[in-house]
Amino acid sequence: MWKWLHPYAKPEKSYQLAGKLLPWFVVLTVITFIIGLLWGLLFAPADYQQGDSFRIIYIHVPAAMMAMGAYSSMAIAAFVALVWQIRLAEMTVAATAPIGAVFTFIALFTGAAWGKPMWGAWWVWDARLTSELILLFVYLGIIALYNAFSDKVLAGRAASILTLVGVINLPVIHYSVVWWNTLHQGPTISKFGKPSMAVEMLWPLLIMIAAFATLLGALILMRFRNEILTRESHRPWVRQLALNNVKITGKN
């Protein structure tokens, strides 16, 4: 059943496959970003309570979703890496972690920026923001662990284990934080999770979510390709590739 996958367990094949997929992701990302941003920032109606400042959700919500999405894909890759001992899956974990961290940071920053006009403070201990902050810590821990190993094969394996430990713990962290928040702050207005959102506002949001998803995909593919090249730099096909590139740029 897994036979068709087998060639892609070889780094060279995966490198080429990722290379073929990449342009599609890039194109989709650009298109969805243009449509989503224009629609969301210019044409969608302003919120009757929050005015224009609500528009930051077109960045915040997709970034927060993809911060979790990146972690989920890391967790799946880590599982595959540890159970079937597939080196490429370890590389995916390593390639994704910094992207996830950046997305988490964007979500945190936009969340804080949105809080300024809403609550008059840059930071409030809102459950969602706190969870995101902890998620950022978890990401940074994984990245730091990966970088601490000089042997990148071992580094990938260590990062995979930590990712899986984290994925069991993250839901617990999330619910504990939500609970802690309701106890210490009383019910805050749930700001982003409005159940009934006007359709004109919802559509651009969905498009922006798609835009961030394809951006995540494109970034993972790019970093994945780089990871393969660095890890396999002692292999003939990588050297050949490097030589070819020199020739091409030489002609220009």
Partner 1 sequence: MLHCKMLTVVREDRILFKDLSFTIKPGEIVQIEGPNGVGKTSLFRLLIGLSTAYSGDIFWQGSSIDKDREFFYQQLLYLGHKTGIKPELTPLENLQFFQTLHAAKQDIDLWFVLAQVGLAGYEDVTTAQLSAGQQRRVALARLWINKCPLWVLDEPFTAIDKSGIAVLEGLFVKHAEKGGIVLLTTHQDMTLDSSLLRKIELGGAAADEDYV
Partner 2 sequence: MKTMFRALFSAFFQVVAKELQGAFRHGSDILNPVWFFIIVVTLFPLGIGTDPALLERIAPGIIWVAALLAALLSFERLFKDDFIDGSLEQLMLSPFPLAWLVSAKVFAHWLLTGLPLLLVSPLLATFLSLDIDTYIALFLTLLIGTPILSLFGAIGVALTVGLRKGGILLSLIMLPLSIPILIFSTMAIDAASYGQSYIGLLALLGAMLITAIILAPFAIAASLRVSVS
CA distances in angstroms from 233 to 149, 151, 222, 228, 229, listed in the order given? 18, 14, 16, 8, 6
Binding to partner 1 (CB under 8 A): which residues in 138-197? 150-153
3-class secondary structure, 125: coil
Give the residue, chosen from 61, 107, 129, 158, that forms a contact with partner 2 under the rule CB under 8 A.
158
Residue 60 or 225: the one with the smaller Cβ distance to partner 1 is 225
Structure token pair of residue 235: 């292999």
Neighbours of 199 (CB within 10 A): 7
CB of 231 vs partner 1, minimal distance in Å: 8
Query: CA 33 from chain center: how many Å?
Result: 16
Q: Which does 164 bind (CB under 5 to 8 A by kind): partner 1, partner 2, none?
A: partner 2
Q: How many of the other CB atoms lie within 10 Å of CB of 1?
A: 4
CB 205 within 8 A of CB 60: no
User: Cα angle vertex 217, ends 74, 152, to 5°?
Assistant: 45
Nearer to partner 1, 1 or 151 (CB): 151
Which residue of 162, 211, 218, 220 would you call a contact of partner 2, by CB under 8 A?
Answer: 162
Using CB under 8 A as the binding rule, whether residue 6 contacts partner 1 is answered as no
List of residues 6+ apart from 227 with CB closer than 8 A: 91, 94, 95
Of 194 and 235, which has the nearer Cβ to partner 1?
A: 235
| Least distance between partner 1 and beta carbon 229 (Å) | 12
Min dist CB 158 to partner 2, Å, is 5
Q: Does 148 bind partner 2 (CB under 8 A)?
A: yes
Q: Which residues bind partner 2 (CB under 8 A)?
A: 82, 134, 137-138, 140-141, 144-145, 148-149, 154, 157-158, 161-162, 164-166, 168-169, 172-173, 176-177, 179-180, 183
Q: Which residues bind partner 1 (CB under 8 A)?
A: 150-153, 233-236, 239
